Structure 1
Amino acid sequence: MIAAYGFNATLTAAPGKGDQLVGLLLTGLDEGSPGASEHCVVYLVSRSVSDPDVVHVTEGWTSEEDHHRIFAGEAAQAIVARIGGLLAKEAEYTDYVPVRGRAAF
């Protein structure tokens, strides 16, 4: 499958909450969660080398519509609701149109 829509998110956890934030974001790969959807072709959670409370998420989706539809669902909204309580500031998002790449995890 090819990603036709994607985004990067930078999330800054409250001091000392980076591990919890990463753990919560990784539940997005669980069965029934957004990252496990057939429409999500890339779901990568990374941490900053210099600040363990800064977490980056890269996602690639088959379409922007698929992304919005999946994220409107109950599983995604439950994760989003829990993320807010862990953040020190509002998340920063950059959306994009993937051109070419490779993801093998």
Structure 2
Amino acid sequence: MGRLTTHVLDTMAGGPAEGVAIELWTMDSEPSCLVRTLTNADGRTDPLLEGEHFRCGRYELRFMVGQYLRTRHAVDLDTLFLDEVPVRFGIQYPEQNYHVPLLFSAYGYSTYRGS
């Protein structure tokens, strides 16, 4: 069985983003929150889904970068551009690993499917 992991990188600081709140939602049928967690000093979390919980379906990761930007980079609430970054994706092959990293700054972000 595969697993779902994530990693958050602060491109303004050039390193991992510690303390970013993340929520994982299932988007099948009725959306519901499956996991709430915070990134560690390496910008990572424990696996978000694995074992019997790692299934095909539609999911959304919500990265709460606004609070991090206000705290770490003193971005003013009035000038805050990014707050909550949603990333919707599908898991089609539960035998594979899915790694969904977020690289972000105050004005942009990128993501991709890793393994």
Higher relative contact order structure (alpha carbons within 8 Å, sequence separation ≥ 6): 1
Do they fold alike, i.e. is TM over 0.5?
Answer: no
Q: TM-score range by the shorter chain?
A: 0.3 to 0.5
User: Could you say which structure has the higher helix fraction?
Assistant: 1
- Give the number of the structure whose alpha-carbon radius of gyration is greater: 2
TM-score w.r.t. the length of structure 1 is 0.37
TM-score w.r.t. the length of structure 2 is 0.35
